């Protein structure tokens, strides 16, 4: 008769064999957590390997992503469409079994992990999504949303500050369906962690408001099962299960040591491990009786069918809510989206006086927010400054989940990782704001949003020295260039209300790319446009001012390219130079990524290759502009840190006033 240990040993065998074949990887954590994984995936979690996208499935996040072979083994054994050939090709180019899990819902991988702590924080966002959807759509006797989020995490996740941020907010909000299992093996890459991690972890999480179940033997199936069931029973607090495990359990000469953490065991140690477990099968061979005992497809199909029956009853009684729920989960925009778009343009057109683009952003949110229920807002303790609270916003609290706004507190990193979790879960288009300079705190979560192709809207305000007296610590310089360097991230820096509305709509409609919306603190002049120019904003870069009518049609003598707050003074300079008889074009380029994605015909129509006199103007690092101006061009930017002072004085000191731009342009025209 099979024992649970035999099933866990299948994980151990696949993990050590795959790492050995790849000569790369981390066998220790998979071998140490195999017993816990066997109980969780076979006896506790609700999921269907035959349909990894079942909406009410439990979510599982392997936050200690270096233990990827644990997840790959479990997915393969439980019946997900992850073939043994993929296990054999662990860490090889083109394989679906990467060194750290990458988001691939078709085979059951909910999120990309690897940067420690991010899986944990992303899971907090998933648990928050479950709670919000349940509050919005569940009705008495009709629970169509009722699932849990499970997390495995290790010492590295606990040491990263991100986990502290996210754990604090999870406890504050009372996310009772979040259950984390801490692999307390006491070992990291450098050895025994007690030399650099002396925390009392249970007390820390208790202080966060969590239920803590401590001193669980991670190799005792009965103790594990009791702990998991106790965690499920408490729906008012998130739970941390502190499980004592032995890293590399089963490897007789290496278990409990740092050598099992990130190195293949070696042929001799694997042979000794096989003998000791015992596991008498050849590498990558799973006997039929163990494969049958692991297969969860039949159980998963029963669970999903039961849910479908519940949902069908719900749909009959609440057809409107059911249709809205289905639309939200599918990620489709509402049928009245064209009307919301039109309303946003009307609202933007009504702005005629100078206005900060952060305020223009709020105008757009007020126009579309009430009709877009999935638009979930928030801020990192800067709501009044970043203008993310719209007229229909209501804050979510511990006692009231019927809201659409998250006060993330001063937690930029956790905020962004949680937005990733909200987007991955489904049902929400999350946006939240902070100052652009603080995007540094969140950068790695922004990177994962881009890597996972998630529709996450990053609102960044106070975008330059124009924020004024707060000085160089708050004035972003290199941040625009840094974010533009990130693959699969669209950044918009609009110059007025009309460009702001286009930026927002582009971000909402783009389902495969996170979007950074970068706004000013200071008021900007509204630019005049024709209908064709207004339509051209969506191309990322377009001609805002053309040479005078009597010489229109001739090739411009020079082109000025500007973004955001620098479009206004550049327009003044271009008009002055053209009034003196020159032919200068002003290009507004709110999104270089979107412009670069246009076809060559459009790009050359805006920036003709024959025009080599080019001047780019942006109150930020010059680095990202040389590709547009070329060797004969010039960039008016800022390649030193800011200073404390009035915005107008700063722009003059840094050479970015209309007069100074005109002088630079005239100098270029003389050469």
Beta strands in 521-668 (DSSP E): 523-524, 542-545, 558-562, 584-588, 614-617, 634-636
**Are 564 and 493 spatial neighbours (Cβ–Cβ below 8 Å)?**
yes
Spell out a b/e string for 387-396, using b for 16 or more CB atoms within 10 Å of the CB, else e: bbbbebbeeb
Report the C-alpha dihedral over residues 111, 115, 119, 122, rounded to 10 degrees: -80
How are strands ordered across the β-sheet holding 634-636?
A: 542-545, 584-588, 558-562, 614-617, 634-636
Which positions ≥6 away from 189 have C-beta within 8 Å? 258, 261, 262
CB neighbours of residue 593 within 10 Å: 19
- Quickly tell me which residue has 């993330």 as its tokens: 408
Alpha-carbon gap, residue 39 to 293, rounded angstroms:
12
Q: Closest Cα to residue 362, out of 335, 392, 332?
A: 392
Annotated catalytic residue: which of 269, 412, 499, 566? Answer: 412
User: Is the peptide bond prior to 278 cis by the omega test (within 30 degrees of 0)?
Assistant: yes
Active site residue 412: yes
- Assign residue 553 a region (left: φ > 0; alpha: ψ between -120 and 50; beta: otherwise): left
Distance from chain centroid for Cα 167:
18
Distance from chain centroid for Cα 646:
35
3-state helix, strand, coil in the chain (%, to 5): 50, 15, 40
Q: Closest Cα to residue 4, out of 293, 253, 251, 228?
A: 293
Strand-strand pairing, 614-617 and 558-562: parallel
Q: Which residues pair with 200 in a beta bridge?
A: none
Q: Closest Cα to residue 365, out of 354, 353, 379?
A: 379
Can you give the length of the chain in residues? Answer: 671
Give the C-alpha distances (Å, rounded to integers) separating 136 from 178, 371, 372, 638: 19, 15, 14, 47
Alpha-carbon gap, residue 41 to 46, rounded angstroms:
8
**Are 302 and 46 spatial neighbours (Cβ–Cβ below 8 Å)?**
no
Q: Which residues pair with 104 in a beta bridge?
A: 109
**Are 653 and 645 spatial neighbours (Cβ–Cβ below 8 Å)?**
yes
Name the helix (H) or strand (E) containing 272. Answer: helix 267-276
Alpha-carbon gap, residue 14 to 70, rounded angstroms:
9
- Give me Rg for the CA atoms of the chain: 28
Give the C-alpha distances (Å, rounded to integers) separating 501 from 344, 351, 355: 6, 11, 13
**Residue positions annotated with a catalytic role:** 412
């Amino acid at each position: 008769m099979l024992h649970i240990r035999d099933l866990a040993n299948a994980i151990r065998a696949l993990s050590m064999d795959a790492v050995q074949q790849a000569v790369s990887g981390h066998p220790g954590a998979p071998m140490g957590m195999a017993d816990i994984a066997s109980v969780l995936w076979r006896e506790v979690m609700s999921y269907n390997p035959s349909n990894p996208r079942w909406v009410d499935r439990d979510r599982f996040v392997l936050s200690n992503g270096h233990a990827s072979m644990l997840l790959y083994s479990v997915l393969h054994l439980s019946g997900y469409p992850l073939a043994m050939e993929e296990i054999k090709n662990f860490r090889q180019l083109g394989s679906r079994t990467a060194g750290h899990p990458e988001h691939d819902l078709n085979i059951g991988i909910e999120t990309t992990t690897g940067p420690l702590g991010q899986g944990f924080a992303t899971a907090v966002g998933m648990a928050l999504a479950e709670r919000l959807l349940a509050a919005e759509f569940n009705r008495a006797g009709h629970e169509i949303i009722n699932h849990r989020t499970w997390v495995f995490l290790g010492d590295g996740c606990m040491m990263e500050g991100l986990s502290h941020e996210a754990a604090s907010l999870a406890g504050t909000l009372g996310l009772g369906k979040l259950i984390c299992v801490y692999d307390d093996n006491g070992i990291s890459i450098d050895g025994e962690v007690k030399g650099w991690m002396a925390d009392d972890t249970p007390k820390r999480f208790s202080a966060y408001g969590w239920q803590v179940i401590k001193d669980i033997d991670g190799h005792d199936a009965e103790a594990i099962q009791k702990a998991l069931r106790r965690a499920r029973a408490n729906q008012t607090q998130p739970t941390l299960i502190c499980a004592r495990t032995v890293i590399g359990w089963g490897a007789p000469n290496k278990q409990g040591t740092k050598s099992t953490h990130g190195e293949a065991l070696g042929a001799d140690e694997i042979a000794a491990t096989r003998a000791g477990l015992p596991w008498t099968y050849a590498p990558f061979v799973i006997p039929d009786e163990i494969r049958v005992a692991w297969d969860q497809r039949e159980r998963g199909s029963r669970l999903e069918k039961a849910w479908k029956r519940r949902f069908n009853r719900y749909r009959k009684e609440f057809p409107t809510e059911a249709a809205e729920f289905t639309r939200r989960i599918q990620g489709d925009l509402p049928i009245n989206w064209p009307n919301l778009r039109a309303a946003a343009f009307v609202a933007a057109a009504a702005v005629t006086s100078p206005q900060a683009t952060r305020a223009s952003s709020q105008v757009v949110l007020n126009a579309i927010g009430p009709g877009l229920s999935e638009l979930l807002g928030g801020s990192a303790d800067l709501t009044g400054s970043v203008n993310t609270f719209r007229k229909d916003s209501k804050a979510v609290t511990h006692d009231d989940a019927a809201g659409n706004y998250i006060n993330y507190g001063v937690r930029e990193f956790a905020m962004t990782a949680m937005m990733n979790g909200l987007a991955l879960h489904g049902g929400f288009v999350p946006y939240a704001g902070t100052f652009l300079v603080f995007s540094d705190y969140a950068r790695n979560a922004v990177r994962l949003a881009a890597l996972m192709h998630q529709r996450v809207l990053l609102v960044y305000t106070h975008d330059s020295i124009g924020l004024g007296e707060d000085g160089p610590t708050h004035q972003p310089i290199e941040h625009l260039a840094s974010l533009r360097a990130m693959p699969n991230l669209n950044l918009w820096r609009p110059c007025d209300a009309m460009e702001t509305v286009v930026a927002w709509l582009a971000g909402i409609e783009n389902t495969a790319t996170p979007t950074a919306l970068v706004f000013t603190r200071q008021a900007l002049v509204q630019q005049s446009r024709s209908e064709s120019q207004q339509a051209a904003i969506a191309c990322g870069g377009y001609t805002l001012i053309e040479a005078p009518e009597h010489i229109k049609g001739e090739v411009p003598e020079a082109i000025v390219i500007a973004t955001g707050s620098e479009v206004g003074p550049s327009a003044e300079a271009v008009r002055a130079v053209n009034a003196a008889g020159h032919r200068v074009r002003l290009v507004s380029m709110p999104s270089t990524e979107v412009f670069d994605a246009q076809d060559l015909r459009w790009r050359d129509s805006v920036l003709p290759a024959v025009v080599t006199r080019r001047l780019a103007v942006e109150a930020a690092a010059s680095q990202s502009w040389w590709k547009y101006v070329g060797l004969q061009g010039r960039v008016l930017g800022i390649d030193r840190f800011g200073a404390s002072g009035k915005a107008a004085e700063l722009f003059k000191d840094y050479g970015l006033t209309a007069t100074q731009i005109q002088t630079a342009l005239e100098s270029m025209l003389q050469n």
